[in-house]
Amino acid sequence: MKLRLIMAAIGAGCALAAADRDKENEAIHRIREANRVLTEIMDSPDKGIPQELLDKAHCIVIVPGMKTAGFLVGAKYGKGVLMCRKERGGWKGPGTVRVEGGSVGLQIGGGEVDSVLLIMNRSGAERIMRSKFKIGGEAAAMAGPVGRKVQAETDAYMRAEILGYSRSRGVFAGIALTGSTLRQDLDDNAVVYKQRLSNIDILENGRGTPPEAGRMLASTLNKFSAWEQK
């Protein structure tokens, strides 16, 4: 009887350890996927994020494979990473986030899209590091322009707190995620950093050591836009 209890306890412990490894692998894989998404978008010769806007962004959210569903009224759910600029140039992070909520628009069927949010000012950066906020409610959001240079409505884009982009089936376009809720993912932060940290802990207070995948993502961002905010 005792032997069976011991073996059961060992089995349960092994199952928990395996589940923890799966969560860690999933979270690290998501950071690598965010790196891939950013690289592919920015390497596009004429359909990427305008350099001028990326250079002015205070933070960036990358959600690889965000799930969408529905016809006309769509629902969204995805997990992603949050990176913010250092005061003296370069990027720090990642923190982890979840995007949840509905939208109204032409969404025929379901699928997955890669989504990118540029946080364009200090107040937006402070909001996005909170535990939870609503895009378009607490932070003004609009669809971002596509292309290497901003051709029109430059002032409007510069005034927006959040600029949104999506990519699906090879098509890259601006998209407003108005009505969606973005919140930090404390569980994924705990998996990535081996301790329960908030995004403020990571991105403002410098706590935790980023994994290799996070350092690679920071390196990619530094490659495309490394200089200090003006």
pLDDT digits (tens, 9 = 90+) for 115-153: 899 999 888 888 888 878 787 766 677 778 787 666 545
Q: Which residues of 205-216 are buried (b: 16+ CB within 10 A; e: fewer)?
A: eeebebbebbee
Token pair 């108005």 is found at: 178
- The rounded Cα 24 to chain-centroid distance in angstroms is 17
| Residue 175: burial class (beta carbons within 10 Å; 0-12, 13-18, 19+) | buried
CB 92, CB 207: distance < 8 Å: no
pLDDT of residue 67: 56
| pLDDT, position 39 | 95
- For position 4, what pLDDT does the model report? 61
Domain ranges in the chain are 36-224
Describe the crossing of helices 186-193 and 2-43 by its angle, rounded to 10 degrees.
Answer: 100
Q: Is 217 within 8 Å of 210 (Cβ atoms)?
A: no
| Nearest to 135, CA basis, from 61, 27, 217 | 61
Is 100 in contact with 180 (CB distance < 8 Å)? yes
Mean pLDDT in residue range 28-48: 90
Most confident of 11-20, 106-115, 162-171, 216-225: 216-225
Helices (H), the chain: 2-43, 51-56, 122-128, 154-159, 186-193, 199-203, 212-224
Q: For the residues 91-104, what does the mean pLDDT come to?
A: 83
Helix or strand or coil: residue 128?
Answer: helix
Q: What is the pLDDT of residue 25?
A: 84
